Amino acid sequence: MSKEKSDIQIDASIIEGIRDGDNLAIQQLYQIHFPPIAQMIITNRGSREEAQDIFQETVMVLYTKINKGDFVLSSKLQTFLYAISKRLWLKHLTRGEAKYRKDSIDDYGDTLAVEEAIENHEIIEERLLHMEGSLNGLGEPCRTILYDFYIRGNSMAEICEKFGYTNTDNAKTQKYKCLQRLKKIFFKKYS
């Protein structure tokens, strides 16, 4: 009983840690959950490197789900991660050839929740990758200006000083132009 409880506590602390971007939580996640998943992939025609990739993707799915804010762990974390990596691995295996049936290695009830999580993950992943690409596509100094202002939360005065603008108005104009360009690049795909 106490072991079960401590398992639940560990799961909760890991989830908390991931939400906060805590490295220790990631380390713990690796130590506890990587071996069985690697085992599953290796015994199913996978290599150790592929196991790593799948595991990282699995963790990203978990991350997406946690950051969506509505994450409630209905089973043990291990079960959840295992189901996701199984699904991902199956997808990886059947990529380009749809001859495997969906229910070939797991049962149906689990699949739906997992499938949803993965789909969510993929949508967000795509959008954010696109965002990153767009930001990178801006070139300097636009990328850094926007990054400093919006992500690091620096004030316009600091930015003005850093980039050597004569006054904050110039910096503001520059920032506005950069933002417009980002929007142009970013929304090109979605318009």
Partner 1 sequence: MKGINEQDFLAWADAYLREELSEEEKRQFEAYCEATPVHAVLFKQHQALVNDMKVADARSNFKRDLQRMGQAYHQTRQPKSSTKVFGLWDRFKFSAAVAAAIAIVSVFSTLWLTGYYKNLKKTTSDYSALRRDMNTVKRNVNAQNVAIQNMHNSKDNARETMHYGATGFMITKNGYVVTNYHVITGADSVYLQNHKGESFKADIVFTNPEKDLAILHISDSTFKSAKNIPYTFKKQDSDMGEDVYTIGFPRDEAVYGQGYLSSSTGYAGDTLAYQISIPVNPGNSGGPLLDKDGNVIGIISGKQKGIDGAAFAIKTKALIETLNNIPADSLNGKNVVLNNKNVLHSLSRTDQIKRLQDHIYIVKVY
The residue range among 7-15, 59-67, 84-92, 93-101 that interacts with partner 1, by the rule CB under 8 A, is 59-67
- Asked if 148 and 159 count as a contact pair (C-beta separation under 8 A), the reply is yes
| One residue of 9, 56, 104, 170 binding partner 1 per CB under 8 A | 56
| One residue of 15, 33, 34, 165 binding partner 1 per CB under 8 A | 34
Q: Please, where are the H alpha helices in the chain?
A: 2-20, 23-43, 48-67, 77-93, 108-138, 142-146, 156-163, 168-188
Q: Which of the residues 73 through 102 are near partner 1 (CB under 8 A)? A: none
Q: Which of the residues 119 through 148 are near partner 1 (CB under 8 A)? A: 127-129, 131-132, 135, 146-147
- What angle, 0 to 180 degrees and rounded to 10, lies between the N-to-C axes of helices 168-188 and 156-163? 100
What are the angstrom distances between the C-alpha of 51 and each of 30, 108, 121, 154?
12, 24, 19, 40
- The sign of the dihedral angle between the CA atoms of 55, 57, 63, 68 is negative
| One residue of 176, 184, 188, 189 binding partner 1 per CB under 8 A | 176
Residue 191 found at the interface with partner 1 (CB under 8 A): no
What are the angstrom distances between the C-alpha of 36 and each of 33, 78, 81, 186?
6, 9, 10, 40
- Number of residues in contact with partner 1 under rule CB under 8 A: 38
Contacts with partner 1, residue ranges (CB under 8 A): 18, 21, 23, 26-27, 30-31, 34, 42-43, 47-48, 52, 55-56, 59-60, 63, 67, 127-129, 131-132, 135, 146-147, 149-151, 153, 172-173, 176, 179, 182-183, 186
